[in-house]
Structure 1
């Protein structure tokens, strides 16, 4: 499986692109990052943004700060926050989804309520839930600087749980319809045994695809939420807090958006490569089975003809 993945062109290009982004961020942050401690407040206000040049390929932002350094320094915070939200969604949804799938006949009525989440934009739902932050005490934020980030992160986690739980529950229910599940029940397997030994291995590939699609959706949602004013650490906060520069100094927005798009493209290529490899493995197994059945049937046909 791993060998086939690295033979897939889309997966290989996605991995290489993601590696380049992460490596450039790590190397620049550790060895070539601009020293900002020596910049005084007067110098910061005096140095205006400048367009891209040979000295500063991405240009500079307010204070004469090199934009290339700023963007790369926000790479890991962006990915960490996206992974935190995605893993949180998956962890909760896996538990609820498996329970939902095991008891699907009894809990099927919940589909009526969950279907509503498919028609409400996640950005609008996030905005309505986060709007309550505007009515909280500002001094509370100053005393608890991490509260805002955790509140936003857990809100974005909660938004994706209903639909994700339903998806995992339905996939679990489909696996439980297979004949080998009936055989496992006849042999005395309980629900926990069937879940761990049969359902989870059968859904392993699909769960990875669900995780990758959720990671891309979370990154997009982080961007939308930051533009609405609820800044999330990383590229999204940088873009959201500087979007007004689009008409004045467009390079300040262009290059972060470009790298953000490259990150999403790399993740999409990785997911597509994994999906194509998974489907190719299924069809190869299917063709092998058909060839073997044909091979066994041919001698009997020849024997019948000779008789």
Structure 2
């Protein structure tokens, strides 16, 4: 039943197929066709100039003779893993804070005044200022210890998205708490923990999945912006950030990483639209809630709430 419903949403299927094609191409090329040229020597770096795309090098080569087709596809999983870590951290922390915020919304509503400010400050600027201050505080530690640098970079990229996302989760939770079936559960004697686990969480999970796919797109975009500003994030964004000055001289060095990054963002956008369409269809089938945990048609007067 679920597979049939998914097949009806072409956007979701197209997005998944595009993402699988991208990841599959990267895996096959990296494990079976990639040429291992070893570490580029300083002499090669200065003597071998970038070559434009050709039959031998479809994506061209970078300074030092590195094939951009192999190099770009080889960074697919690195890019995806970093984005997943940042997105997962944001979603997990925001889920906990958002649920608490939604449950105590009447008391914490005054926090909206401060959180709204994050909607007007670009996350790129906020992340850049935090990373720049970290580098100013201890340049040798930040730049000399890769583990410390990547840990702090990851937490900063996670942190800049938490306030707005927690507020969104909180408001969704608050709206769910005002629904009639929640009030009915309370009247029938449902305890707070039972209501939260059996009714609130299932009602929010669909929107949470939609938020996660949207956050993935936002994180990939933020990674590219931060890399261009000088804080190179592993993966495609490092190619873009460290070679953006080549746009006027050897544009293919930047073009193909941007192309693959755009392809991934397009696939995630299609998946997001498919999930939204799926949830909207669920709303038409289930009158009680757009994100109800049940399946199939539910008639409000046919069954009571069981505990």
TM, length-normalised to structure 1: 0.90
Aligned twin of 1:175: 176
Within 2, Cα distance between the matches of 1:125 and 1:142?
A: 20
Give 1:198 shift. Answer: 0.2
Residue 39 and residue 239 in structure 1: after superposition, are their counterparts in 2 closer, same or farther (change >3 A)? closer
Runs of 5+ unmatched residues, structure 2: 288-295, 301-307
Could you give the per-residue CA deviations for residues 197-220 of structure 1, whole angstroms, max 9, x where no partner exists? 001111121111001111101111
Provide, for residues 252-291 of structure 1, a one-character-per-residue CA deviation record: whole Å limited to 9, x for no partner. 11111011101000000011011112212322445x989x
- Aligned-residue offset at 1:28: 1.1
Q: Does 1:219 align with 2:224?
A: no
Distance 1:32 1:285, change over 3 A: same
1:73 and 2:69 equivalent? no
The equivalent of 2:291 in structure 1 is none
How far does residue 51 in structure 1 lie from its aligned partner after superposition? 0.2
Aligned-pair distance for 1:29? 1.1
Secondary structure, aligned partner of 2:52: coil
Answer with 180-189 or 233-242: which moved more: 180-189
Q: Is the 8 A contact 1:29 1:72 kept in 2?
A: yes
Q: What does residue 127 of structure 2 align with?
A: 126
- Secondary structure in 1 matching 2:161: helix
Structure 1: gaps of 5 or more residues:
294-307
Aligned pairs for 1:1-307 (under 5 A) are 1-37=2-38, 39-141=40-142, 144-285=145-286
- Offset of 1:6 from its aligned partner? 2.6
1:142 deviates by 5.9
Residues 118 and 284 (structure 1), Cα distance of their counterparts in 2 relative to 1, 3 Å cut: same
Partner of 1:296: none
CA distance, structure 2, for counterparts of residue 173 and residue 131 of structure 1 = 37
C-alpha deviation, 1:140, in angstroms = 2.4
Deviation of 1:42 (Å): 2.2
2:21 and 2:66 map into 1 onto residues whose CA distance is 23
Higher relative contact order at CA 8 Å, sep ≥6: structure 1 or structure 2?
A: 1
> Greater helix share, 1 or 2?
1
Superposed CA RMSD in Å reads 1.9
CA–CA separation in structure 1 for the residues paired with 2:135 and 2:171: 38
Superposed structure 1 runs of 4+ greater than 4 Å apart: none
Q: After the TM superposition, which of the residue ranges 273-282 and 101-110 deviates more from structure 2?
A: 273-282
How many residues matched? Answer: 291
Describe the SS at the equivalent of 2:160.
helix
